[in-house]
Amino acid sequence: MTSTTQISKRRAGMADWIIVIILTALCLTCVLPFVHVAAKSISSNTAVMAKSVALWPKGINIDAYRSIFRDGQLTHAMIYSVWMTILFTVIGLALTICAAYPLSRKRLRGRSLFALLLMFTLYFSAGLIPEYLLLKQLGLLNTMWALVLPLAFSPYNMLIMKTFFQSGIPDSLEEAAFLDGASNLTILTRIVLPLSKPIIATLCLFYAVGRWNAYADAKYYITRKALQPIQYLLSNMILSSGSDAISMSESAAVVSTPEVLQAAAIMFATVPILVLYPFVQKYFVQGVMIGAVKG
């Protein structure tokens, strides 16, 4: 008896080690690339050209970052992107609440019709050209609004919020307030929203990250350089400029080799996310859980 339990324990130990090794390896694939790019971005030109920088910087200097700040393009795009993302998130969240709360009330007449109307665009999109022509008609091409308004209402996020309102807010609470003479709007702002802080945080992040990362719409709708968000600028600087170059003003770029500059530019755009990520991560997971109920 004792011997069998011991064997099963030892076997479990082996399996545990294998699992830990596999997961550690996978985690390293997520971490090491950043370590490498970070190391490269603060290494000397000679060390990078000698291909001797792997995970530890050599000949430490921050010239590349100085160039980025002197050049100003990326810093400008960063500030602009932050501002645009905040605006986008506020508008998106407001619209989502406007739609999700009424649709979460089962008694509402015409509820399924409105739901269909709002969800339909998720399943059938007009496509790139008609949407482009629409923005052109509205006079929004080459304005920040072209990046804010078309994506501001996300049916998927609305669904998550609606599900939360339906399951997370007890009906009895609403009925009690109703009997006390509270209007729908009062109930929403005084009772429902304060109880929904977690889901609001989650959806804020969904909207913000979605906007922050996207660049296709900027490529479609924006040609003016001052209105390009940071992801698009980065794509132009690193991906479109040929494999070994980076487009930056001459005076700013002269100190570092393109490779070091590229690494610094990548880090410049990534560090804000890496810094915020550990703190906000749990809210995302929450969103997926609610979305999984029906999504």
Partner 1 sequence: MVNISRRADPKRGLIRLVKDIRRDGQLYVLLLIAVAFVILFKYAAYPGLRIAFMNYKPARGYAGSEWVGFDIFAKVFSDKDFTRALSNSLSFNFLDLAVGFPIPILLAILLNELRLKKFKRISQTILYLPHFLSWVIIASIALTLFKPETGLVNILLRNAGVIDQGIPFLTEKWHWAVTYLLIGVWQGMGWGSIIYLAAITGISAELYEAATVDGASRLRKIWHVTLPGIRPTMVTLLIMNLGRVMGSNFERLDSLGNVQVKPFQYQLAIYIYEKGLAGGNFSRATAVGLFQSLVGLLLVLAADRVAKKLGEDGLI
Q: Which residue in the set 58, 59, 66, 114 belongs to the binding site for partner 1 (CB under 8 A)?
A: 114
Residue 206 CB, nearest approach to partner 1 (Å): 11
Distances (CA, A) of 114 to 5, 117, 127: 61, 5, 22
Does the protein bind partner 1 through residue 130 (CB under 8 A)?
Answer: yes
Nearer to partner 1, 53 or 71 (CB): 53
Query: Closer to partner 1 at the Cβ: 65 or 215?
Result: 215
List, in order, residues 6 or more apart from 64 with CB less than 8 Å away: 41, 42, 255, 256, 260, 261, 263, 264
Does position 283 interact with partner 1 (CB under 8 A)? The reply is no
Residue 123 binds partner 1, judged by CB under 8 A: yes
Task: Supply the minimum distance, in Å, between the C-beta of residue 280 and partner 1.
Answer: 9
Specify the residue, 244 or 251, whose C-beta has the smaller distance to partner 1: 244
Tell which positions 234-273 bind partner 1, by CB under 8 A: 234-235, 238-239, 243-244, 259, 262-263, 265-266, 269-270, 273
Angle at 124 between CA 120 and CA 125, to 5 degrees: 110
Rounded alpha-carbon distances, angstroms, from residue 44 to 20, 63, 259: 36, 9, 11
Write down the least CB distance from residue 53 to partner 1, Å.
Answer: 8
Residues 193-222 that bind partner 1 (CB under 8 A): 209, 212-216, 219-220
Window 149 to 168, contacts with partner 1 (CB under 8 A): 149-150, 152-153, 158
* CA–CA distance, 180 with 182 (Å, rounded to integer): 6
Q: Which of residues 72-111 bind partner 1 (CB under 8 A)?
A: 95-99, 101-103, 105, 107-109
Q: In this structure, which amino acid lies at residue 62?
A: I
Crossing angle of helices 63-71 and 258-293, rounded to 10°: 80
When asked if residue 30 is in the footprint of partner 1 (CB under 8 A), the reply is yes
Residue type, 185: L
- The least distance separating partner 1 from the CB of residue 66, rounded to whole angstroms, comes to 20
Q: How many residues bind partner 1 (CB under 8 A)?
A: 94
To partner 1, the closest distance from the beta carbon of 201 in angstroms equals 15
Q: Are 210 and 154 in contact (CB under 8 A)?
A: yes
Q: To the nearest 10°, the Cα dihedral for 255, 260, 261, 263?
A: -160
